Structure 1
Amino acid sequence: MDRSGRFAALLTLAVCAAPGPAWAESDPRLTGLWKLVSYEVEVRADGSKAPVMGERPTGYAYFTPENRVFFVLTGEGRKPAETDAQRAALMGTLVSYSGTFRTEGDSWTAKLDVAWDPKWVGTEQTRMFTLDGERLRVLTPWRVMPNWADKGETRSIVTFVRGKD
Protein backbone atom coordinates (compact mmCIF):
# COMPACT_ATOMS: atom_id res chain seq x y z
CA MET A 1 0.00 0.00 0.00
CA ASP A 2 1.42 3.39 -0.95
CA ARG A 3 1.68 6.34 1.37
CA SER A 4 -1.66 7.96 0.35
CA GLY A 5 -3.45 4.59 0.72
CA ARG A 6 -2.06 4.15 4.24
CA PHE A 7 -3.14 7.69 5.13
CA ALA A 8 -6.66 7.04 3.83
CA ALA A 9 -6.84 3.76 5.78
CA LEU A 10 -5.63 5.45 8.99
CA LEU A 11 -8.09 8.32 8.51
CA THR A 12 -10.96 5.86 8.00
CA LEU A 13 -9.91 3.90 11.09
CA ALA A 14 -9.69 7.10 13.17
CA VAL A 15 -13.14 8.25 12.10
CA CYS A 16 -14.67 4.83 12.80
CA ALA A 17 -12.94 4.54 16.18
CA ALA A 18 -13.84 8.04 17.30
CA PRO A 19 -16.36 8.17 20.12
CA GLY A 20 -19.89 8.24 18.79
CA PRO A 21 -22.70 10.47 19.91
CA ALA A 22 -23.83 10.35 23.52
CA TRP A 23 -27.20 9.04 22.36
CA ALA A 24 -26.71 5.31 21.90
CA GLU A 25 -28.88 2.87 20.00
CA SER A 26 -32.51 2.66 21.10
CA ASP A 27 -33.44 0.24 23.89
CA PRO A 28 -35.57 -2.48 22.25
CA ARG A 29 -37.43 -3.05 25.54
CA LEU A 30 -39.00 0.40 25.22
CA THR A 31 -39.29 0.78 21.44
CA GLY A 32 -42.86 1.09 20.22
CA LEU A 33 -46.25 2.32 21.33
CA TRP A 34 -47.42 2.38 24.97
CA LYS A 35 -51.01 3.16 26.03
CA LEU A 36 -51.59 5.05 29.30
CA VAL A 37 -53.41 3.04 31.99
CA SER A 38 -52.97 5.18 35.11
CA TYR A 39 -51.31 8.37 36.32
CA GLU A 40 -50.87 8.65 40.08
CA VAL A 41 -49.01 11.32 42.03
CA GLU A 42 -47.37 10.85 45.42
CA VAL A 43 -46.92 13.95 47.62
CA ARG A 44 -43.56 13.96 49.36
CA ALA A 45 -44.69 15.98 52.40
CA ASP A 46 -47.35 13.52 53.59
CA GLY A 47 -46.99 10.39 51.43
CA SER A 48 -50.53 10.71 50.08
CA LYS A 49 -51.27 9.37 46.60
CA ALA A 50 -53.98 10.47 44.18
CA PRO A 51 -54.99 9.76 40.57
CA VAL A 52 -54.54 13.41 39.55
CA MET A 53 -55.55 12.69 35.95
CA GLY A 54 -58.67 10.76 37.00
CA GLU A 55 -59.40 7.04 37.18
CA ARG A 56 -59.28 6.66 33.39
CA PRO A 57 -56.73 9.05 31.88
CA THR A 58 -55.94 8.75 28.19
CA GLY A 59 -52.72 9.03 26.29
CA TYR A 60 -49.76 7.39 24.68
CA ALA A 61 -46.00 7.26 24.77
CA TYR A 62 -44.01 6.28 21.72
CA PHE A 63 -40.31 5.41 21.69
CA THR A 64 -38.83 5.32 18.20
CA PRO A 65 -35.89 3.18 17.09
CA GLU A 66 -34.12 6.49 16.32
CA ASN A 67 -34.18 7.48 20.02
CA ARG A 68 -37.03 9.97 19.98
CA VAL A 69 -39.82 9.79 22.53
CA PHE A 70 -43.28 11.35 22.32
CA PHE A 71 -45.69 11.70 25.27
CA VAL A 72 -49.30 12.92 25.11
CA LEU A 73 -51.14 12.26 28.38
CA THR A 74 -54.56 13.73 29.18
CA GLY A 75 -56.86 13.62 32.16
CA GLU A 76 -60.20 11.89 32.28
CA GLY A 77 -63.34 13.81 31.32
CA ARG A 78 -61.78 16.72 29.44
CA LYS A 79 -64.40 18.93 27.79
CA PRO A 80 -63.97 21.49 25.01
CA ALA A 81 -63.16 24.92 26.41
CA GLU A 82 -65.24 27.99 25.62
CA THR A 83 -63.59 30.58 27.85
CA ASP A 84 -60.03 31.60 28.62
CA ALA A 85 -60.41 30.23 32.16
CA GLN A 86 -61.56 26.86 30.81
CA ARG A 87 -58.67 26.76 28.33
CA ALA A 88 -56.23 27.52 31.15
CA ALA A 89 -57.78 24.78 33.30
CA LEU A 90 -57.20 22.23 30.54
CA MET A 91 -53.45 22.74 30.95
CA GLY A 92 -53.72 21.05 34.37
CA THR A 93 -54.89 17.84 32.70
CA LEU A 94 -52.23 17.66 30.00
CA VAL A 95 -48.64 16.45 29.93
CA SER A 96 -47.06 16.46 26.49
CA TYR A 97 -43.48 16.53 25.32
CA SER A 98 -40.96 15.12 22.88
CA GLY A 99 -37.22 14.83 22.67
CA THR A 100 -34.32 12.52 22.08
CA PHE A 101 -33.58 9.94 24.73
CA ARG A 102 -30.91 7.59 25.96
CA THR A 103 -31.24 4.65 28.33
CA GLU A 104 -28.95 3.56 31.13
CA GLY A 105 -30.05 0.36 32.83
CA ASP A 106 -33.62 0.83 34.03
CA SER A 107 -33.81 4.56 33.44
CA TRP A 108 -34.04 6.86 30.47
CA THR A 109 -33.16 10.51 30.08
CA ALA A 110 -35.00 12.60 27.50
CA LYS A 111 -33.55 15.87 26.27
CA LEU A 112 -36.69 17.85 25.47
CA ASP A 113 -37.06 20.08 22.44
CA VAL A 114 -40.88 20.41 22.61
CA ALA A 115 -43.11 20.54 25.70
CA TRP A 116 -46.56 21.66 26.86
CA ASP A 117 -44.78 23.78 29.47
CA PRO A 118 -42.06 25.95 27.87
CA LYS A 119 -39.97 25.68 31.08
CA TRP A 120 -39.29 22.05 30.18
CA VAL A 121 -37.86 22.82 26.71
CA GLY A 122 -34.11 22.31 26.77
CA THR A 123 -34.20 20.33 30.01
CA GLU A 124 -33.26 16.72 30.58
CA GLN A 125 -35.96 14.61 32.20
CA THR A 126 -34.90 11.31 33.78
CA ARG A 127 -37.35 8.52 34.53
CA MET A 128 -36.91 5.16 36.22
CA PHE A 129 -38.88 2.29 34.74
CA THR A 130 -39.76 -1.34 35.31
CA LEU A 131 -41.13 -3.75 32.75
CA ASP A 132 -43.42 -6.63 33.67
CA GLY A 133 -44.43 -8.43 30.49
CA GLU A 134 -46.49 -5.94 28.47
CA ARG A 135 -46.70 -3.41 31.34
CA LEU A 136 -44.37 -0.41 31.71
CA ARG A 137 -44.28 1.37 35.09
CA VAL A 138 -42.58 4.77 35.15
CA LEU A 139 -41.43 6.68 38.24
CA THR A 140 -40.29 10.31 38.10
CA PRO A 141 -37.85 11.87 40.54
CA TRP A 142 -39.22 14.15 43.24
CA ARG A 143 -39.91 17.60 41.77
CA VAL A 144 -42.46 20.40 41.67
CA MET A 145 -44.69 19.52 38.72
CA PRO A 146 -46.16 22.53 36.87
CA ASN A 147 -49.65 20.97 36.73
CA TRP A 148 -50.01 20.61 40.51
CA ALA A 149 -47.36 22.93 41.93
CA ASP A 150 -49.63 23.65 44.90
CA LYS A 151 -48.85 20.13 46.22
CA GLY A 152 -45.13 20.92 46.56
CA GLU A 153 -42.68 18.16 45.70
CA THR A 154 -44.34 15.18 44.06
CA ARG A 155 -43.40 12.23 41.98
CA SER A 156 -45.49 10.63 39.30
CA ILE A 157 -46.18 6.91 39.03
CA VAL A 158 -47.34 6.30 35.48
CA THR A 159 -48.39 2.94 34.09
CA PHE A 160 -48.67 1.94 30.42
CA VAL A 161 -49.49 -1.23 28.54
CA ARG A 162 -47.91 -2.06 25.23
CA GLY A 163 -50.09 -0.60 22.49
CA LYS A 164 -51.69 -2.84 19.91
CA ASP A 165 -52.79 -0.03 17.54
Structure 2
Amino acid sequence: MTAPTPPVPHGPAADLAGVWRLVSFETLAPDGGPRPGPLGESPVGLLFYSDTGHVAVHMMPAAGPPEYLSYAGTWHREGDRVVHTLTVAARPDWLNSVQIRLLELDGNRLTLTGGALSTAEKRVLVWERVGRDAP
Protein backbone atom coordinates (compact mmCIF):
# COMPACT_ATOMS: atom_id res chain seq x y z
CA MET A 1 0.00 0.00 0.00
CA THR A 2 1.36 3.40 -0.96
CA ALA A 3 1.09 6.27 1.52
CA PRO A 4 -0.98 9.22 0.31
CA THR A 5 0.91 12.16 -1.11
CA PRO A 6 0.67 14.99 1.42
CA PRO A 7 -0.22 18.52 0.42
CA VAL A 8 2.88 20.73 0.31
CA PRO A 9 2.72 23.24 3.18
CA HIS A 10 2.72 26.88 2.13
CA GLY A 11 1.86 30.23 3.69
CA PRO A 12 1.35 29.92 7.47
CA ALA A 13 1.93 26.15 7.30
CA ALA A 14 5.52 26.70 6.18
CA ASP A 15 6.13 28.42 9.55
CA LEU A 16 6.00 24.99 11.19
CA ALA A 17 8.54 23.28 8.92
CA GLY A 18 11.70 22.38 10.83
CA VAL A 19 12.87 20.50 13.90
CA TRP A 20 11.34 21.05 17.34
CA ARG A 21 12.61 19.92 20.79
CA LEU A 22 10.09 18.91 23.47
CA VAL A 23 10.00 21.43 26.33
CA SER A 24 7.03 20.02 28.28
CA PHE A 25 4.30 17.38 28.01
CA GLU A 26 1.32 17.72 30.35
CA THR A 27 -2.11 16.20 30.77
CA LEU A 28 -4.96 18.49 31.72
CA ALA A 29 -6.99 17.24 34.69
CA PRO A 30 -10.80 17.44 34.51
CA ASP A 31 -10.62 20.73 36.46
CA GLY A 32 -8.23 22.10 33.80
CA GLY A 33 -5.14 21.97 35.99
CA PRO A 34 -1.95 20.53 34.48
CA ARG A 35 -0.26 17.36 35.70
CA PRO A 36 2.66 15.40 34.24
CA GLY A 37 1.93 13.56 31.00
CA PRO A 38 2.42 9.82 30.47
CA LEU A 39 6.21 10.18 30.13
CA GLY A 40 6.79 11.76 33.54
CA GLU A 41 8.18 15.07 34.72
CA SER A 42 10.89 15.83 32.14
CA PRO A 43 10.39 13.86 28.93
CA VAL A 44 12.62 14.32 25.92
CA GLY A 45 11.48 14.37 22.34
CA LEU A 46 11.83 15.64 18.80
CA LEU A 47 9.16 16.71 16.32
CA PHE A 48 10.01 16.97 12.64
CA TYR A 49 7.79 18.86 10.17
CA SER A 50 9.11 18.68 6.61
CA ASP A 51 8.30 21.34 4.07
CA THR A 52 6.98 18.51 1.86
CA GLY A 53 4.20 17.66 4.33
CA HIS A 54 5.72 14.79 6.33
CA VAL A 55 5.79 14.57 10.13
CA ALA A 56 7.66 12.40 12.65
CA VAL A 57 7.38 12.50 16.45
CA HIS A 58 9.68 10.70 18.91
CA MET A 59 9.32 11.01 22.72
CA MET A 60 10.49 9.14 25.80
CA PRO A 61 11.04 9.67 29.54
CA ALA A 62 14.30 11.38 30.50
CA ALA A 63 14.70 8.84 33.33
CA GLY A 64 12.94 5.77 34.62
CA PRO A 65 11.59 2.73 32.82
CA PRO A 66 11.95 2.95 29.06
CA GLU A 67 8.80 3.83 27.21
CA TYR A 68 8.88 5.16 23.70
CA LEU A 69 6.12 7.02 21.90
CA SER A 70 6.50 7.61 18.20
CA TYR A 71 4.60 8.03 14.98
CA ALA A 72 5.07 9.39 11.48
CA GLY A 73 2.93 10.29 8.52
CA THR A 74 1.74 13.43 6.84
CA TRP A 75 0.68 16.83 8.09
CA HIS A 76 -1.08 19.97 6.96
CA ARG A 77 -2.27 23.14 8.63
CA GLU A 78 -5.88 24.35 8.78
CA GLY A 79 -5.80 27.83 10.34
CA ASP A 80 -5.08 27.41 14.05
CA ARG A 81 -4.99 23.61 13.78
CA VAL A 82 -2.43 21.11 12.52
CA VAL A 83 -3.65 17.76 11.21
CA HIS A 84 -1.45 14.64 11.44
CA THR A 85 -2.43 11.53 9.44
CA LEU A 86 -0.53 8.58 10.90
CA THR A 87 0.92 6.03 8.48
CA VAL A 88 3.59 4.58 10.83
CA ALA A 89 3.00 4.18 14.57
CA ALA A 90 4.40 2.51 17.66
CA ARG A 91 0.95 1.07 18.34
CA PRO A 92 -1.23 -0.64 15.72
CA ASP A 93 -4.39 1.11 16.99
CA TRP A 94 -2.86 4.49 16.02
CA LEU A 95 -2.32 3.51 12.36
CA ASN A 96 -4.32 5.49 9.80
CA SER A 97 -5.77 7.73 12.50
CA VAL A 98 -6.12 11.47 12.02
CA GLN A 99 -4.88 13.58 14.92
CA ILE A 100 -5.98 17.21 15.10
CA ARG A 101 -4.12 19.61 17.37
CA LEU A 102 -4.82 23.23 18.17
CA LEU A 103 -1.62 25.17 17.65
CA GLU A 104 -0.16 28.34 19.02
CA LEU A 105 3.05 29.57 17.43
CA ASP A 106 4.94 32.27 19.30
CA GLY A 107 8.31 32.85 17.63
CA ASN A 108 10.32 29.67 18.22
CA ARG A 109 7.80 28.22 20.68
CA LEU A 110 5.04 25.90 19.44
CA THR A 111 2.21 24.71 21.70
CA LEU A 112 0.04 21.81 20.50
CA THR A 113 -3.15 20.95 22.39
CA GLY A 114 -5.43 18.02 21.67
CA GLY A 115 -6.75 14.69 22.74
CA ALA A 116 -4.48 11.84 23.75
CA LEU A 117 -3.99 9.07 21.20
CA SER A 118 -5.23 6.32 23.55
CA THR A 119 -7.49 8.01 26.13
CA ALA A 120 -10.04 10.82 26.36
CA GLU A 121 -7.56 13.05 28.21
CA LYS A 122 -6.45 16.39 26.82
CA ARG A 123 -2.69 16.88 26.35
CA VAL A 124 -0.57 20.00 25.99
CA LEU A 125 2.88 19.71 24.41
CA VAL A 126 5.27 22.64 24.18
CA TRP A 127 8.06 22.51 21.59
CA GLU A 128 11.00 24.82 20.89
CA ARG A 129 12.52 25.21 17.44
CA VAL A 130 16.12 23.93 17.14
CA GLY A 131 18.83 23.71 14.53
CA ARG A 132 19.40 25.89 11.54
CA ASP A 133 15.73 26.97 11.49
CA ALA A 134 16.12 28.95 14.73
CA PRO A 135 17.16 32.60 14.39
Q: Does the TM-score normalized on the shorter chain lie above 0.5? A: yes
Q: 2:7 aligns with which of 17, 20, 24?
A: 24
Q: How many residues get paired? A: 125
d(CA) in 2 for partners of 1:109, 1:37: 21
TM-score, scaled relative to structure 2? 0.82
- Post-superposition Cα deviations, 1:84-131, rounded to whole Å, max 9, x if no partner, equal xxxxxx4xx432100011111121111111111110101111111101
> Aligned AA for 1:157?
V
Higher helix share: 1
Matched residue type, 2:7 = A
Residue 159 of structure 1, aligned match among 119, 126, 134:
126
- 1:135 aligned partner: 109
Identity, in percent, stands at 29
Q: How much does 1:43 deviate?
A: 2.9
Structure 1 CA distance for aligned equivalents of residues 129 and 32 of structure 2:
29
Tell me the TM-score normalized by structure 1: 0.68
Q: In structure 2, give the amino acid aligned to 1:60.
A: L
The answer to whether structure 1 residue 43 and structure 2 residue 17 are counterparts is no
Structure with greater strand percent = 2
Structure whose alpha-carbon radius of gyration is higher: 1
Work out whether 1:57 is the aligned partner of 2:43: yes
CA distance in 1, matches of 2:128, 2:107: 9
Distance 1:94 1:47 in 2: 26
Is 1:76 the counterpart of 2:65? The answer is no
Q: CA deviation at 1:49?
A: 2.3
